[in-house]
Amino acid sequence: MSIPIRVLVAKPGLDGHDRGAKVIARALRDAGMEVIYTGLRQTPEMIVNAALQEDVQVIGLSILSGAHNAIVPRVMELLREKGMTDVIVVVGGIIPDEDAAELKQLGVAEVFQPGASLDKIITFIRDSVKQVA
C-alpha cells in the first residue's frame, strides 16, 4: 500500500460557512488521502503551525467571506518564514478572477472557484504532489 497524501483542510476567517470545507475533506478522504481537518475560524498562524507539525504536502484553504486578500498572503508569508515553501497551497471559495491571479502570483498553486468539480480538485492535488516528489 502506498503512503497516503496528507492534506490540511482549513477554514480561515470569521464566518461559519464550513459546508464547502467539509465536502472537500470528505471527497479527499474518499480519494484515499489523509485529511487533517481543523475546523472553523482558523488564523494563518494556527493553519501554518498545524501544517508544520503534521508535515502535510498540501494545504487547502476554504474562504467564502471575501477575506482572501488578507488571509492568504499572511499564510504564504508564514510558510516562507518557516522554510515550508515546498508545501502546495490551494484555495477554494468565492474568489474573483483578478484576485485569483494575484493569489497565484503569491505562490498559490491553484484557485478553485464555484463550480470547480471535485474530480478536478483531486486530480490537481495528486498531480502536484507527484511533481514535488
Partner 1 sequence: MAAATTYSELIERVLAGDIRALARAASIVESQSKPARDLIAALFARTGHAMIVGITGPPGAGKSTLVDQLARVIRGQGRTVGIIAVDPSSPFTHGAILGDRIRMQDHHADPGVFIRSMATRGRLGGIAQATLEMSLLLDAAGRDVVMIETVGVGQDEVEVASLADVTAVVLVPGLGDDVQAIKAGIMEVADVFAINKADLPGAERLEQEIRAMQSLGAESERANSAPVRRVVATEGRGVEELLAVIEAVFAKRKRKGERAGTWAVRLRELLREDLMTGLPEHDVQAHAQRVAMKLEDPYTAVDSLRKAICG
* Piece of 20-28, 73-81, 97-105, 124-132 that binds partner 1 (CB under 8 A): 20-28
Query: Residue 44 and residue 13: Cα distance in Å, rounded?
Result: 9
Q: How many residues bind partner 1 (CB under 8 A)?
A: 30
Beta-carbon neighbour count of residue 131 at 10 Å?
9
Does the footprint of partner 1 cover residue 90 (CB under 8 A)?
no
Which residues are paired to 93 by β-bridges?
A: 63
Does the footprint of partner 1 cover residue 30 (CB under 8 A)?
yes
- Own/partner contacts of 19-23, CB < 8 Å, gap of 24 or more, are 20/62, 20/64, 20/92, 20/93, 21/60, 21/62, 23/118
C-alpha cell at 62: 476554504
In the bound state with partner 1, the residue whose beta carbon lies nearer, of 5 and 72, is: 5
Contact 121, 133 (CB under 8 A): no
* Piece of 25-33, 90-98, 107-115, 124-132 that binds partner 1 (CB under 8 A): 25-33
Least distance from C-beta 126 to partner 1, angstroms?
12
Does the footprint of partner 1 cover residue 129 (CB under 8 A)?
no
In the bound state with partner 1, the residue whose beta carbon lies nearer, of 3 and 14, is: 3
Kind and range of the H or E run holding 6: strand 6-10
Least distance from C-beta 103 to partner 1, angstroms?
23
Which listed residue (15, 34, 77, 102) binds partner 1 by CB under 8 A? 34
Does the footprint of partner 1 cover residue 45 (CB under 8 A)?
yes
